[in-house]
Amino acid sequence: MPIQITTQTESDIPELWEIEKSVMLKGTTPHVVKENEYEQFKKDIMTQNMLVAKNEDGTVLGSLIYHYPGSAPSRQRQWLFGISVAKQAQGQGIGKMLIHRLFELGEQNNIGKIAMRVMGANTNAIEFYKHLGFVQEAHFKREFWVDNEWMDDYQFAYYLDAPKN
């Protein structure tokens, strides 16, 4: 199944919204998406730096949003990212394709570090990032209070001058 990685279009927004709602599970994010947030999501999505994975039929399979961690010149050589893959596409290499495309863009844009945060309960994601060569930089204990329970959070980073998996 050939996968195309592109930037987002307005016609992708409904599918991106459905993916966003379906992957926001307890232990994967501190934010729970609510139906009444669609209009704000729609407005925000086109202002983001985003990669979108689509199959040959044009169905959106996943997305990756990336940005600088701040506006200070000292923060302009790194990106933070968040990724979502449709449930039906998980385990098919979509996340890996999106991240590898981000690595390519990072190299083209003189980025030295790409980082993300992942909740401790999301052990599958932690193993996935480690497999791709990300290293743990921080452990934020009791970072989020979700459903009457403390959740830890971790920061992982990939250094673009390191060998790729």
| pLDDT confidence of residue 118 | 95
The per-residue b/e assignment along 138-157, b for 16 or more CB within 10 angstroms, e otherwise, is eeeeebbebeeeebebbbbb
| Cα 66 to Cα 159: distance, rounded to the nearest angstrom | 15
What is the chain's pLDDT, residue by residue, as a tens digit (165 residues)?
A: 689 999 999 999 999 999 988 866 555 666 666 667 888 888 899 999 999 999 999 999 999 999 999 999 999 999 999 999 999 999 999 999 999 999 999 999 999 999 999 999 999 999 999 999 999 999 999 999 888 999 999 999 999 985 555
| pLDDT confidence of residue 115 | 98
| pLDDT confidence of residue 140 | 97
| pLDDT confidence of residue 22 | 80
User: Is CATH 1.20.120.1200 correct for 4-159?
Assistant: no
Helices (H) and strands (E) in the chain, counts: 4, 7
The DSSP string of 104-141 is: HHHHHTT--EEEEEEETT-HHHHHHHHHTT-EEEEEEE
